[in-house]
A and B are shown apart, each in its own frame.
Chain A
Amino acid sequence: MPIMLRQCKTKAGYEALPLDKRTNKWDQERRLDLAVIKRSMEDLGYEVLDAGPLLIAKRHDIREATIYRTGRLIIKTNDEAEAKATAERIYIDIGLEG
């Protein structure tokens, strides 16, 4: 799945958006079931905070990231390569890689 990655305005993090494989666009109408995602991520060893409209997830080998219902991520790193690797890993782990 293609991912759009861009640095936050304040340069302290990266935003990742999952793009549709066919249209290469972000489906803003997508609504993930965060309760299901929380459980599946915890099963994969993530520590997950449920904050209602978003989750905050981290694992010993994965940078802390905020996950929104639309699939948008905010990743707490200013290292682009690390942000890309984190986004790819999380999208796989929440079942968005297809």
Chain B
Amino acid sequence: MRLLALISGGIDSPVAAHLMLAKGDDVDLLHFDNRPFTDDSPFEKVKGLARTISTSVPGARRPRLMMAPHGKVQIAIARGAIRRLGCVLCRRMMFHVASAMAQRDGYDALVTGESLGQVASQTLMNIRAEEPAATVPVLRPVIGLDKIEIIAIAERIGTFATSIQPGLCCTIVPDKPATKARLKDVLSAENGLDMATLIKQELDGIQEVDFGCR
């Protein structure tokens, strides 16, 4: 399968991408660049993580790394939608854009590093509200693993040291993010946004990033 793995600078998503690479799938990486709501560190970390992942499975095809500019979308969501739904809408936008890219470029599915209950956006109810935004299957290879198990894999493949380097958290996270988002509320919020334009702008802005050789 050709898979598009959504990768942040954290611990879980590089492990998820590696696990699918290790299964023998063709995996490319897509990072949503959250600047100016973070600093440059996640972007630099992701390049380092891509280098490590690319050599984590002997003989596997070297992944490509793509970057989607996500800052303008965050502004549109913050200005135009109910504040507490911000994280859910942000993740739905990632699914919208990644699905559009998958359909355009021939990927069979998306891969995410979601692991239930670790952060506000990763409750089962939120996942139920987010997943319908994807128009291709979403694979979650670490969904049932606990943090200790994920860290053990990250240490084994060499991504852990990079993932825990300092990186500014998203500064546009609401004070009280929704943990039980309802799909009808989320769809209503999206109706207030110019979704087609936002998705097209972000899709058109995706660029391949040279992450160098290891």
Contacts and interface: CB of A to CB of B under 8 A. Distances in A.
B166 A51 contact: no
A66 B79 contact: no
B153 interface: no
A12 B166 contact: yes
Nearest to A70: B175
Interface residues of B, number: 17
Main DSSP-derived SS at the B contact region? loop
Q: Which of A8, A52, A56 counts the most B-chain CB atoms under 10 A from its CB?
A: A52
Contact of B167 (A10, A51, A56): A10
Contact of A10 (B36, B79, B169): B169
Contacts of B37: 51, 56, 66
Contacts of B80: 52
Given A10-B167, A11-B166, A12-B166, A51 B78 contact: yes
Interface string B70-88: 0000110011100100000
A98 interface: no
Given A51-B74, A54-B172, A64 B36 contact: yes
B169 A9 contact: yes
A13 B168 contact: yes
A51 B167 CA distance: 21
Interface in A73-96: 74, 76, 78
Interface size class of A (residues with CB under 8 A): 10 to 19
A12 B79 CA distance: 26
A66 B170 CA distance: 11
Contacts of A8: 168-169
B41 interface: yes
A89 B167 CA distance: 24
Interface string A1-30: 000000011111100000000000000000
Q: When A and B form their complex, which 8 residue pairs have the shortest distance between CB atoms, in order from nearest? A: A52-B79, A52-B78, A12-B166, A12-B168, A11-B166, A66-B171, A13-B168, A51-B75
Given A52-B79, A66-B37, 11 more contacts: A8-B169, A10-B166, A12-B169, A13-B39, A53-B83, A53-B172, A53-B174, A54-B78, A74-B168, A76-B168, A78-B166
5 contacts: A51-B74, A51-B75, A51-B172, A54-B78, A78-B166
Interface of B: 36-37, 39, 41, 74-75, 78-80, 83, 166-169, 171-172, 174
